Amino acid sequence: MSKSTPSHCQHPHNIETIFPGPLRLLQKYVGLFTFQNCFKEMENSMFYHTELIHLPDSLNSWKMINNFTKNTAYISIQQLLQKIIGQGHQVQHLLKISHMGTVHMTHSLAILNNGFYFCDCCMGVNLGIPCQHYFQVLSVVKGLRFHLAHILP
Ligand SMILES: [Zn+2]
């Protein structure tokens, strides 16, 4: 390829320099299987691009919205917001994670006001392994902290 690599498109072999903190925690506290799964998700996260979804002028916080037309995720963004708000959480940032190789592969991920996240792929909730979309966000959003609590026992 002659095209130059964008700065956000890191090669998988840089995983150790991109996620030193999470890797240190994982190495110390989780089993090999979980560690390997997380590492794989970290590698896959490098093939995505993250954008902040701006709050529409009519809203002062993320609540129910109904202007979503395309859905490639496991749940829709409406269901995502419904789950979050139904559990008494608030959305701090809503992000759109797009795969850099396939145009239609986008995910919505909400960063909650308590530092946790909810992704529309539902991998974290179902498998207890943070998904590649989360690791993509973790690699680009400053101030976001990795919690071991993201991993379900
Ligand atoms: Zn996800």
Q: Is the pLDDT at 149 greater than 80, yes or no?
A: yes
The pLDDT-based confidence of 82 (bands split at 50, 70, 90) is confident
Residues 12, 16: Cα–Cα separation, whole Å: 9
Task: Give me the helix-helix angle, 20-29 and 32-45, nearest 10°.
Answer: 160
How far apart are the CA of 119 and the centre of ligand 1, in A?
A: 5
Find the 41 Cα to ligand 1 centroid distance in Å.
Answer: 10
Mean pLDDT in residue range 67-75: 53
DSSP lists the bridge partners of residue 117 as 111
User: pLDDT class for 63, splitting at 50, 70, 90?
Assistant: low
106 alpha carbon to ligand 1 midpoint, in Å? 10
Return the pLDDT at 102.
66
How far apart are the CA of 141 and the centre of ligand 1, in A? 15
**So where are the chain's domains?**
16-53+70-150
Q: How far is CA 128 from the centre of its chain?
A: 13
Does the model's pTM come out above 0.85? Answer: no
SS3 94: strand
